Amino acid sequence: MEYRKLGNSDLEVSAITFGAWAAGGWMWGSTDRNEAIEAIKASYEVGVTSIDTAPIYGQGVSEEIVGEAIKGFSRDKVQILTKFGMRWDLAKGDFAMKSFKNNGDAIDVYKYAGKESIIYECEQSLKRLGTDYIDLYQIHWPDSTTPIDETFEAVSRLIEQGKVRHAGVCNYNAAQMAEAEKTLNLVSNQIPFSMVNRGIEAETVPYCIKNNKSILAYSPLERGLLTGKIHSDYQFKEGDHRANLAHFKPEFIEKTNVLLAKIKPIAEAHHASLGQLVLRWTIERPGITIALAGARNAEQAVQNAEAINIKLSAEELKTIDDLVNAF
């Protein structure tokens, strides 16, 4: 595994980080708790020391799974990345969405990052994770109802108390990051990035490179689309959010599979899967520090981690870049 520092901090994380959204089941058509725990353990065994989760993933389930999985690990050998600012138990802030818990109960989700809420959320996360500190604490989504300085003053207090080591953001644009920086040093921004979703390259990536902020790319496999295993008549399980996304409409799936067919020979030359090639390409992109990869079971987790073993030549990278640019 390769390890990379986040921003100007001393926090090193694995270039392939375990993304625990699907492990929580929420919006992914449920989960198998034991398989999710085994997936985290298996990825740790092959060098994936960093795990990204959030309270909203299963309304606490994902964090509980992470906490259970890392019980046997030496705490200083694992990095826990979690989030705050999405409440399903408090009707405050920006309304985000109507959703359902894993048991089918309806919930309203709000983006809220008020000071007292953050302090409360941190305590709940620490309990679920079974730890006394969080390595990277990230606001999950911008909250237009709370001043940015109020949000990051609260995070600053948590850092002073030793409950949080470093602060990051998710889904922030460059202007929002600059505003947050007035209050607290940020080390990272977690944002969506993939071969078929490169909008951040226009403004956010250049800002992060210039200001030495790490980018944690989420959905680098575009929620499974870039594995090559999704076809135009794919049937999603009930509760799987992907069924309604534009990237999973038949036309887009077919267009994507044409791109994947063109890069497949490079994957085969490295005895790798398409998913592994895509992950390796992602962390080779300018400004991208790590790629978050989710897994439902141990086999998937190990496969994701093994993407690090692919060594792409400059010529191969250019070939892939040219194809992606033409997409």
Residues 6+ apart with CB under 8 A from 36: 20, 23, 65, 69, 296, 297
For residues 188 and 179, is the Cβ–Cβ distance under 8 A? no
Sign of CA dihedral 191, 249, 224, 264: negative
Catalytic: which of 57, 110, 137, 218? 57
Catalytic (active site) residue 57: yes
**Cβ-Cβ contacts under 8 Å for 134 (sequence gap 6 or more):** 80, 81, 82, 122, 125, 126, 163, 164, 165
Contacts with 83 (C-beta within 8 Å, 6 or more apart), sequence order = 53, 54, 55, 56, 137, 138, 139, 140, 170
Q: Which two tokens stand for residue 14?
A: 């694995």
Residue in the block written with tokens 């790629």: 291
Element (H or E) spanning 214, and its range? strand 214-218
Render the burial of 118-150: b for 16+ CB within 10 Å, e for the rest: bbebbeebbebbbbebbbbbbbbbbbeebebee
Q: Is 91 exposed, middle or buried (0-12, 13-18, 19+ CB in 10 A)?
A: exposed
Say what angle helices 314-325 and 274-284 make with each other, to 10 degrees.
Answer: 100
Q: Which helix (H) or strand (E) is 18 found in, with range? A: strand 16-19
Written as six digits, the tokens of 134 are 């969080």
The Cα 218–Cα 190 span in angstroms is 7
Pairwise CA distance, residues 35 & 32, whole Å: 5
3-state SS, residue 86: strand
Looking at the annotation, which residues are catalytic?
A: 57
